[in-house]
Structure 1
Amino acid sequence: MAKLRIIFPQSIGVVEVELTGKNPKTLQALKSAAPFESRVNLWGEEIYFSTPARVAQEVAQDVVDVGDVAYWPPGRALCIFFGPTPVSRGSEIRPASPVNVIGKVIGDTERLKKVKDGEVVKVEFVE
């Protein structure tokens, strides 16, 4: 099965993402756009960065789990969630607006806290 590889060359290296079939149009748009580079933005305990993909909401979620990787349609961005955001309530993890979840980080999400705002990020798919 294919995986998404997100590379942070200036901090933590490779993060692999196990893909789900929940949002197939979103996944296909991202695969078609890859490989691509962007710059990291941080928002609470969320990493997000722009993508060349343009997709509408599919099966969008208001609340996500630690390690979820999702596409945010209004910002055309890929998001990695590893804790609460500024709009979270209690212990929930809440995106700025609904997102299309495409996968989950494989392994430890704690290391995502070392990623710095503005650093380069590379995205590719691997079989």
Structure 2
Amino acid sequence: MTLRIRIVWPAGHTTATLEETPTSTALAGALPISSTARTWGEEVYFDTPVSTAVEDGARQVVDPGTVAFWTEGDALALPYGPTPISRGEECRLASPCNVLGALDGDPRVLATVRDGDPIRVELVSG
């Protein structure tokens, strides 16, 4: 079973499809959530009320548009391009993160998120 979420901020929104993992199940149970967006290079991340362990298959280098969970910060991490520690054009997260799924559209829409923006995540029904 896959889950779909909607991520909304003042300048835009996107949706994502998540695989069924222990982390995505915990996240779904906490939705809807409102948080404050932070940016780190071409990555948006924000705090969640979810706390979980690193899963098998956690990765530090991911594709643009990956929906990742940063266990050290209890945060969702949404990279769309290089971060300050990337080598070249890769999306390198701060540390290995649980991979939950991927954004449904062009991940560069996240470039419109500003540090400090209110951000909301909710389940998409249906």
* TM-score class, shorter: over 0.9
Spell out structure 1 runs of 4+ moving beyond 4 A: none
Letter in 2 for 1:30: L
Q: Which amino acid aligns with 2:7?
A: I
One-letter amino acid matched to 2:45: Y
Instruction: Show the counterpart of 2:31.
Output: 34
The amino acid across from 2:96 in the alignment is: P
Aligned-residue identity in percent: 44
Task: Please give the residue correspondences for 1:40-119 in structure 2 after superposition, counting only pairs within 5 Å.
Answer: 40-58=37-55, 59-119=57-117
**Number of equivalenced pairs:** 123
Unaligned runs of 5+ in 1: none
TM-score, normalising length from structure 2? Answer: 0.93
Greater strand content: 2
Counterpart CA distance in 1 for 2:88 and 2:119 is 30
Q: In structure 2, how many angstroms separate the alpha carbons of the residues matched to 1:73 and 1:84?
A: 20
Q: Is this contact kept in 1: 2:14–2:109, CA < 8 A?
A: no
Deviation of 1:108 after TM superposition, in Å, equals 1.5
Partner of 1:122: 120
Give the 3-state SS of the residue equivalent to 2:95 in structure 1.
coil
- Unaligned ranges ≥5, structure 2: none
